[in-house]
């Protein structure tokens, strides 16, 4: 696959799409002699989501992600999502707005279409993948659910997927309003566990059991909800290669880049099941 990108291979920081900064990492072409002017030779594309208030560059600086991108010929797209919890909308009670546009709406209506027009990225049917940690792990699920056929596979580390079982969560309350008044909104809006039956994208889910920031139960609940919905629909998820979901709960691991870096290997091994030439 060739993307039309007027950028040379390398790490390009602080580009801009609809007022939000993003970075691009473009690996060296597999065969530089085949690279034409203003073309980037690459086979795959990975949307990479940061955690809450994490700078987009931390994925690059604190993990081996660049190495995996080179090994697997992946262009990395790293948006600066700041305090987004990937909400699909704001409400009269919303007190925390990371941007005038809610996070999920920004990704779906501005970032993806903008980069599609600019570079030819995120075209349907192409080798698009998605990766995120912490709040970005939640983003992986919500973006996959709202784009059921766009991504070949995704990986989510240490994400939160059911705010309704965390009624005192201040970040959720700042967007969705207090749980006591809006419990239905918490249960049904932007809740991956509630929407688990609609998931079509293969996912690798991982969480450390010693995570004191996001309860490990969050990832376990999401996985269980997916498996339950498929069982009720007569599907055998474990043998359904097209919609497989893999869970890895890591004993003793916390909410940190040491754990997230460790999980890149199995995540990319999962992605490889959905590579095509």
CA–CA separation, 242 vs 201, rounded Å? 8
Question: Does 128 fall in a domain?
Answer: yes
What residues make up the domain containing 166? 2-272
User: What is the pLDDT confidence band of residue 4, given thresholds at 50, 70 and 90?
Assistant: low
Percentage of the chain with pLDDT > 70? 89
Question: Does 170 fall in a domain?
Answer: yes
Q: How many domains does the chain have?
A: 1
Residues 49-96: pLDDT tens digits? 999 999 999 999 999 999 999 999 999 999 999 999 999 999 999 999
Q: Indicate the range of 1-5, 122-126, 173-177 predicted with least confidence.
A: 1-5
Q: What would the DSSP string read from start to end of the chain?
A: -EE--S--SEEEEEEEETTEEEEEEEPPPSSGGGPPTT-EE-SEEEEEE--TT--TTHHHHHSSHHHHHHHTTEEEEEE--TT----S---TT----SSSS-HHHHIIIIIHHHHHHHH--S-TTS-EEEEEETHHHHHHHHHHHHSTTT-SEEEEES----GGG-TT-HHHHHHH--TTT-HHHHHHSS-TTTTGGG--S-EEEEEETT-SSS-THHHHHHHHHHHHHHHHTT--GGG-GGG-EEEEEETT--SSHHHHHHTHHHHHHHHHTT---
CATH number at residue 109: 3.40.50.1820
Question: Does 33 fall in a domain?
Answer: yes
Question: Does 41 fall in a domain?
Answer: yes
Tell whether pTM > 0.85. Answer: yes
CA–CA separation, 71 vs 56, rounded Å? 21
Cβ neighbours of residue 172 closer than 8 Å, sequence gap 6 or more? 85, 163, 166, 179, 186
Question: Does 277 fall in a domain?
Answer: no
Average pLDDT over residues 196-206: 97
Question: Does 115 fall in a domain?
Answer: yes
Question: Does 95 fall in a domain?
Answer: yes
């Amino acid at each position: 696959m060739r993307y039309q990108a007027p950028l040379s291979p390398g790490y390009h920081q602080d580009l801009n799409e609809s007022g939000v900064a993003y970075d691009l990492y473009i690996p060296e072409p597999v065969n530089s002699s085949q690279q034409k002017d203003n073309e980037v030779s690459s086979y795959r594309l990975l949307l990479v989501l940061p955690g809450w208030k994490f700078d987009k560059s931390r994925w690059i600086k604190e993990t081996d992600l660049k190495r995996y991108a080179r090994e697997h010929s992946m262009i990395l797209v790293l948006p600066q999502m700041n305090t987004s919890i990937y909400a699909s909308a704001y409400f009269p009670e919303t007190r925390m707005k990371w941007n005038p546009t809610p996070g999920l709406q920004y990704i779906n209506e501005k970032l993806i279409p903008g980069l599609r027009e600019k570079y030819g990225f995120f075209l349907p049917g192409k080798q698009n993948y998605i990766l995120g940690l912490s709040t970005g792990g939640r983003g992986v699920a919500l973006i996959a659910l709202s784009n059921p056929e766009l991504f070949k596979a995704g990986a989510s580390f240490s994400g939160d997927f059911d705010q309704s079982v965390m009624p005192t969560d201040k970040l959720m309350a700042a967007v969705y309003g207090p749980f006591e008044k809006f419990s239905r909104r918490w249960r049904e809006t932007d809740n991956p566990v509630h929407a688990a039956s609609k998931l079509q994208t293969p996912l690798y889910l991982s969480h450390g059991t010693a995570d004191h920031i996001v309860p490990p139960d969050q990832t376990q609940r999401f996985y269980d909800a997916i498996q339950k919905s498929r069982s009720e629909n007569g599907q055998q998820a474990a043998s359904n290669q097209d919609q497989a979901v893999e869970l890895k709960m890591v004993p003793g691991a916390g909410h940190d880049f040491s754990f997230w870096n460790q999980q890149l290997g199995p995540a990319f091994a999962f992605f490889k099941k959905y590579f095509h030439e």
